[in-house]
Structure 1
């Protein structure tokens, strides 16, 4: 690895290195607080860790490492440095570059009370906004600093494990060559990537640089703040609802047992014994197969089997309703009760999920450890999972949502006058689509007392939200059947989609 890296032990040295530079890369090294040193990944938790050191780079191939809380070697004056750091992070004239800015933001907010001010630039966001080849954009998993340094800069960086050899970073000697090299290199290569990605944007996708600088990087700062704050939860309510779920599952399990006897159904009614009962003992048809050709037993298969039994084996129909209900309770308990309880911080009492701004192929935000983005809605949740999240005393929680944002964006890009007109006139796009695909007037489509109103509106909604993602007749048929309980033939679904495209003429032009 090439680079001229030095240790800086005073504010004067830091200021002398940075000078009047207006593009500065920085990076934190962290270690667990004393009481959490035996806890896995505590160094990455703002509530359980402290900043051990900070590095800066203002020109490629150079960098300084500032030791703050190493257990051996000379550290900078902590109070003076954090005062300098607050000013640096708040400076609106310096572009502050970091790789995974959300982490730096969470530490700065939790430890210094600072919200990093724009301009900022997150090279992990930039990585995901560039293509790794002519056809594919980089995924989050391909955007780690070590991998990018190797792939783009042609240099192999030492790993954290090789550098620390099982120790925490503050156990490394402050001015050791390996310590300084590891710390400073992170900032140096973040700066190198800043320049490489901007060169790529200039040549290929200039607007993506704007997105990185003015949308994704500022968003990363606030994602860090959000993670540091976390979600306040009512643990007592969660424990009470866990008991309710267990009792309900026990009740349903007894009802299933009354039908099938002492067959082990497991936690999800997916055991080999239960499958053998259905397909071998009861001789039910294998209406769907897994990827390896075995008889499937997913939720869709359960619905298909229930429909078949309604006609051919009515005495078994109730079994499939019970199994689906049992699975629903099992999902709620395992994912939203046990899963959330497992992630409540012993330090803050909050849940602090990882939020990834560009974590999906479509560019949408995702959330993990736990996934707090997909809590069930009221109509599909007998427990009330969303009530687990409670504002502290004296505070309010606001729930906000864009109204039909995908359809509005779609109308904007299609430039279809009929669609745009609905929004300009504050109309109802689902009523408009009902009118278009069923050939009825707008007033009739809007009439809640009209025959087939509910079914038609349900179909219109599914068509609307699916069309912009390339919905095909068979996909629409499947969606309507398993999400809405509406049976339509493939030909009927093809006619619905064709009517939609005839009604919104610019839609298919834009899609093509």
Structure 2
């Protein structure tokens, strides 16, 4: 290996030359205040860049030491970073390649440097390549050391073996093993770039386009969100924590009066409580677990409550209390206690782990904590969204795609009624109400009309479910558990039949999509993101029907995910000129920012333009992004005319 240490800008220039592709990797170490904190080196608020390795040719790399406590560092730390900013990181003529680009992008963003396109994240590329005939790599299969060993037979020592308990800035950069470790990361990142692109060319050319055009700029955006973090109102959280504790105690006391003090535990699912329900009270087992034990999940509690309304009315209150107890227990443990454990001690904010390829359709996932399941405003009794609050002088601004999956579905199925509604800015739920019930459109939008609320609720659930092959039993269950409507299975069948008859393009697209998937064994987004669904050939009806739903779900949900990621890429391109625009959260179809209070109009205009731009030339359904702002996330005010 041709690995060398260099110290001056002119040496960097000589190494890079006119290379059009540069792989890079950072070694980091905690700042003095945080040196005893585990994983502080991974936090750009508690750590700094110790050194940078670069590779422009396979088998070759250089390491630039910036802030080692042992040995010699670069002559001009600031000058090196400024040179690399202009020559590499913000150079539109150089492809920037990194493994887990969001990490490097985060540390650069902390220094005011935005990684510009073209860029390439090899960890994203890894997850878009197959590890077996029908299975893509997941995140745990995509570590640099693992890939370097499995794909190139490299001997890659891990961090612990090289550092022997030391922090990286305590290593002498000129030491052979230190240099080899640092340089190998950028060298093998470059090798992966070429390896994966060769694989894409032979197997899935569209996936290379997705890596370059969608996933890599999204990684940069994720680095920004990770660095900015979610601003939290800790005082409000502590207050609600006490209220939730009191609420749980009150509910528990009332449950104990009914049960005689049976131990129900933290979630009302103890063996003692099961024995009380099914042995002492003699209630029927309406649902079992995979291990054929009596189930006590939320759906079971609802079914038992319904049973008791008819057979044991004296027990209805017990199940109401149990459901309330569980709801408050989950809200407290997940959204108060859970969130509080992840507040960063340096920033007072939450900096979740963001995974842009966390689902098979390409939608985001997050962990530590999972902010993707943050309750919506209309289902948030604790006021979780109020915990997310802007600092004084700032605002939170949110832009949310309006019905993006339904718009994508209309684009796919080419149903003229659906397309017409969106093209004239109409109300798709009202249109579906007219289709299902055969009533005039004027009655469907009249809030004072008989059965308006119930009909609109059914129409909404049909719209959001029937694209994905919702059956009558599924619609019945959804309406019962999510909307509180008790509709018979026969009526649900009539509703779905009416819907399909009223939207003939929908049924035609569904049939064609399932047939195509049964032939190819995969589904794709419009831009070619592939998902294998071999279960579509299963003789097991359950597995096959699930695969058929995946075949219909993937093009719609996956294309919607691609659209929001394309918007992120456009936002990244404009953030250099708008450093005050700070993205910090993405939830499904919503992008959330922190901005100075006097920048609202400019922020909304810019982000809205980025989100509403036609994502690809064939897309002919208008895209609408709705804006709202406020001092906390739970009490946002709609921006009129936006």
Q: Please, which moves more after superposition, 52-61 or 86-95?
A: 86-95
> How far apart in 2 are the matches of 1:305 and 1:38?
52
Task: Give the equivalent residue in structure 1 for 2:443.
Answer: 444
- Answer whether contact 1:105 1:115 (CA < 8 A) is retained: yes
More strand by share: 2
What are the Cα deviations for residues 375-415 of structure 1, in whole angstroms up to 9, with x where unaligned? 21233222211111111111111122111000001111111
Helix, strand or coil for the counterpart of 1:396?
strand
Map residues 34-183 of structure 1 onto 2, 5 A cutoff: 34-77=32-75, 78-87=77-86, 88-110=88-110, 112-183=111-182
Task: Give the equivalent residue in structure 2 for 1:16.
Answer: 14
1:235 aligns with 2:234: yes
Q: Please, which moves more after superposition, 486-495 or 342-351?
A: 486-495
Please report how far the alpha carbon of residue 118 of structure 1 lies from its aligned counterpart in structure 2 after TM superposition.
Answer: 1.9
Unpaired runs of at least 5, structure 1? none
Please report how far the alpha carbon of residue 122 of structure 1 lies from its aligned counterpart in structure 2 after TM superposition.
Answer: 1.1
What are the Cα deviations for residues 329-370 of structure 1, in whole angstroms up to 9, with x where unaligned? 111111111111111111111111111111112211122111
> How far apart in 1 are the matches of 2:290 and 2:30?
45
Map residues 401-440 of structure 1 onto 2, 5 A cutoff: 401-440=400-439
> How far apart in 2 are the matches of 1:133 and 1:438?
48
Superposed CA RMSD: 1.8
Please report how far the alpha carbon of residue 39 of structure 1 lies from its aligned counterpart in structure 2 after TM superposition.
Answer: 1.5
Helix, strand or coil for the counterpart of 1:317?
helix
Task: Give the equivalent residue in structure 2 for 1:349.
Answer: 348
| TM-score for both structures, normalised by structure 1 | 0.95
- Answer whether contact 1:52 1:170 (CA < 8 A) is retained: yes
Map residues 206-355 of structure 1 onto 2, 5 A cutoff: 206-355=205-354
Please report how far the alpha carbon of residue 313 of structure 1 lies from its aligned counterpart in structure 2 after TM superposition.
Answer: 0.8
What are the Cα deviations for residues 92-119 of structure 1, in whole angstroms up to 9, with x where unaligned? 2211111111110111112x22122222
- Answer whether contact 1:344 1:350 (CA < 8 A) is retained: yes
Helix, strand or coil for the counterpart of 1:46?
coil
- Answer whether contact 1:252 1:322 (CA < 8 A) is retained: yes
What are the Cα deviations for residues 254-295 of structure 1, in whole angstroms up to 9, with x where unaligned? 111111122222111122211111111111111111111111
> How far apart in 1 are the matches of 2:378 and 2:255?
24
Helix, strand or coil for the counterpart of 1:501?
helix
Matched residue count: 509
| TM-score for both structures, normalised by structure 2 | 0.76
Helix, strand or coil for the counterpart of 1:31?
strand
> How far apart in 2 are the matches of 1:322 and 1:509?
46
- Answer whether contact 1:28 1:53 (CA < 8 A) is retained: yes
> How far apart in 2 are the matches of 1:472 and 1:126?
36
Helix, strand or coil for the counterpart of 2:80?
helix
- Answer whether contact 1:150 1:156 (CA < 8 A) is retained: yes
> How far apart in 1 are the matches of 2:65 and 2:293?
59
Please report how far the alpha carbon of residue 59 of structure 1 lies from its aligned counterpart in structure 2 after TM superposition.
Answer: 0.9
Map residues 359-378 of structure 1 onto 2, 5 A cutoff: 359-378=358-377
Helix, strand or coil for the counterpart of 2:506?
helix
> How far apart in 2 are the matches of 1:194 and 1:336?
40
User: For residues 470 and 188 of structure 1, do their structure 2 counterparts lie closer, same or farther at Cα, with a shift above 3 Å needed?
Assistant: farther
Helix, strand or coil for the counterpart of 1:192?
helix
Please report how far the alpha carbon of residue 199 of structure 1 lies from its aligned counterpart in structure 2 after TM superposition.
Answer: 2.2
User: For residues 490 and 166 of structure 1, do their structure 2 counterparts lie closer, same or farther at Cα, with a shift above 3 Å needed?
Assistant: farther
> How far apart in 2 are the matches of 1:116 and 1:10?
22
Q: Please, which moves more after superposition, 49-58 or 364-373?
A: 364-373
- Answer whether contact 1:354 1:369 (CA < 8 A) is retained: yes
Helix, strand or coil for the counterpart of 2:57?
coil
User: For residues 291 and 21 of structure 1, do their structure 2 counterparts lie closer, same or farther at Cα, with a shift above 3 Å needed?
Assistant: same
Helix, strand or coil for the counterpart of 1:398?
strand
Q: Please, which moves more after superposition, 259-268 or 19-28?
A: 259-268
Task: Give the equivalent residue in structure 2 for 1:383.
Answer: 382
- Answer whether contact 1:33 1:49 (CA < 8 A) is retained: yes
- Answer whether contact 1:139 1:361 (CA < 8 A) is retained: no
Please report how far the alpha carbon of residue 307 of structure 1 lies from its aligned counterpart in structure 2 after TM superposition.
Answer: 0.4
Helix, strand or coil for the counterpart of 1:373?
helix
Helix, strand or coil for the counterpart of 1:401?
strand
User: For residues 381 and 191 of structure 1, do their structure 2 counterparts lie closer, same or farther at Cα, with a shift above 3 Å needed?
Assistant: same
- Answer whether contact 1:56 1:64 (CA < 8 A) is retained: yes
Please report how far the alpha carbon of residue 494 of structure 1 lies from its aligned counterpart in structure 2 after TM superposition.
Answer: 3.1
Instruction: Tell me: higher relative CO, structure 1 or 2? Use CA pairs within 8 A at least 6 residues apart.
Output: 2
> How far apart in 1 are the matches of 2:498 and 2:28?
59
> How far apart in 1 are the matches of 2:157 and 2:469?
45
Q: Please, which moves more after superposition, 366-375 or 468-477?
A: 468-477
Please report how far the alpha carbon of residue 156 of structure 1 lies from its aligned counterpart in structure 2 after TM superposition.
Answer: 4.2
Unpaired runs of at least 5, structure 2? 514-642
